[in-house]
Structure 1
Amino acid sequence: MSHPTYADVEAAAGRIAGITRTAPVVSAGPASPGGGEVFLALDFVQHSGSFKDRGAANFVAAHRADGSLPAAGVVIASGGNAGLACAWAARAQGVRATVFLPATAPAVKIRKLRALEADVRLVGSEYAEALEASRRFAAETGALASHAYDDPYIAAGAGTLLPEILAAVPGLDTVVVAVGGGGLFTGLAVAAARHGVRVVAVEPATCRALNAAIEAGAPVDVPVDSVAADSLGARRVSEMALHWARQVRASSVLVADSAITEARQGLWDGHRLAVEHGGATALAALRSGVYRPEPGERVAVVLCGANTDPASLA
């Protein structure tokens, strides 16, 4: 399957039921006077600290079910969160995981990977370099290559979040989500299309892979330079993300690093939620005003990751 469908999301929900955690959804009050109601979907409560547990659990379970998990285990390149999720899912299934990361990956993520018994390999300074090294490793060892975002099983697993949000927020109008390579966005867009929910895609202005793809009409390479680059720093968005952005006519907005930093601090100051910069990026769109909900609009903002050092929050 090249593009995941809602049937794939439903199948993923069946595979990961009882393995991943249901995301708590809490009200954050009005976006502004008369500007609709905002809810926060706390999907960073997953075992490895981000939404990526959903896709990783689905990926490993699906390959185990069809007998395609090799003795060499799984290998993935990641800015950190996908690697953590892959290592967690692999260990849960008794499978070996090798994780390639840029040498710039946060120390907190490297420590957690090693605690999950992953074989950690640090290569280069960008995700793209770690990805190339992981591909060589897969070719040489026969390990099953997982992808941080460009895989239908990964995207379909991520899409299981939206039905959980809908169960908590009947009449949801809009979901706002940060985009890196596009796995979470794709899964949510697939589910949103089925349920008639609008999708707002938020990216750092200096890591705009989906925004640039929409503008160019095809995935293109973009510079990667943002405070959120460790989780949203894909150089190129997936083809399936662009496909689903067109299908749902997603709104694509960009936020400054300063807005991301302020949103992250605001989550700590106002809610005592410690998230990483990528986890605060979707909320930055509302706080900075680049996305303004309409009166009465019910908006869910996905807080997607919390693998961060709390000491960095004042």
Structure 2
Amino acid sequence: MDQQSSENVIDVTDLWRRYGTAEHGFDAVRGVSFSVGRGELFALLGTNGAGKTSTIELLEGHARPSRGDIRLFGAYEPLRDRSRVRPRTGVMLQEGGFAADLTVVETVRMWAACTTDPRPVGEAIALTGLTSRGGTLVKNLSGGEKRRLNLALAVLGSPELLFLDEPTAGMDPEGRRETWDLIRELQSQDTTIVLTTHYLDEAERLADHLAIMHRGRITTSGTTADIVSTHPSSLFFGLPAGVTGADLPPLGATSMEEREGTVHLTTDDLQFTATQALMWARERGIALDGLHARSASLEEAFLHIAQSDTTEDVLT
């Protein structure tokens, strides 16, 4: 085992997952590779039908890859070595499948009976802010409270590797912040976390690094700053009557669009472009109405990938 692998909790190499027969099928995951170091939070994002869920299911050991290799904790395959991997992992699914007529405490107690070396039931409930709801029937919980119960079960075994699938869906802003705090606390305890979420701000706040999947492949990966830096920033402003975008001098912009008196510039150097625009306006003695500068964001990078086209056919 090489040094790099021993330092990673997850190593994925050229991973493929095919649905259907060898001759007539669909490749949902096509040559995906990535690694996650111990104690890191890795966010796997994806456009609709990107193969993100199929990838996570392989990592969790629900199926065998069609091709490629997965190693957890440096040595184990998720499906083949399930008995070794499962006690060290926790999984928070989108749907928990709870028994509606059990209370929160009864649900956690039942789950603890099936968990290797579980933490105390009261501790798991307190971690996720459900202490006051311990005697409440599951069917009477709100959607956000059910997500907290899912999380309580996922961390019951103090996992070294934790999979979080949409952990804050349905939560109010306070619940989201509290869950983020818990995730950070788990990470500070050297828990390695794989996060899937549709909330891009959540990925930006929590992830050490992330990857975005599209049509079965990882199209970009790195830190949020790495990914955002490859996309231009924007500058918006309105021009007074009698002045049009054609009157603007070169501002270092990569593109310009004018619509209903508002100019939208994209630029790789926001500070330079904004400074040049303001200096030009001052020299002309005009005001740039509604001036708004915006750095590139993860959302813009994600949308750019989602809207990209490819002619490669993945159905054979």
Same fold (TM over 0.5): no
TM-score when scaled to structure 2?
A: 0.26
Query: Where is the strand percentage greater, Structure 1 or Structure 2?
Result: 2
More helix per residue: 1 or 2? 1
Structure 1 length-normalised TM: 0.26
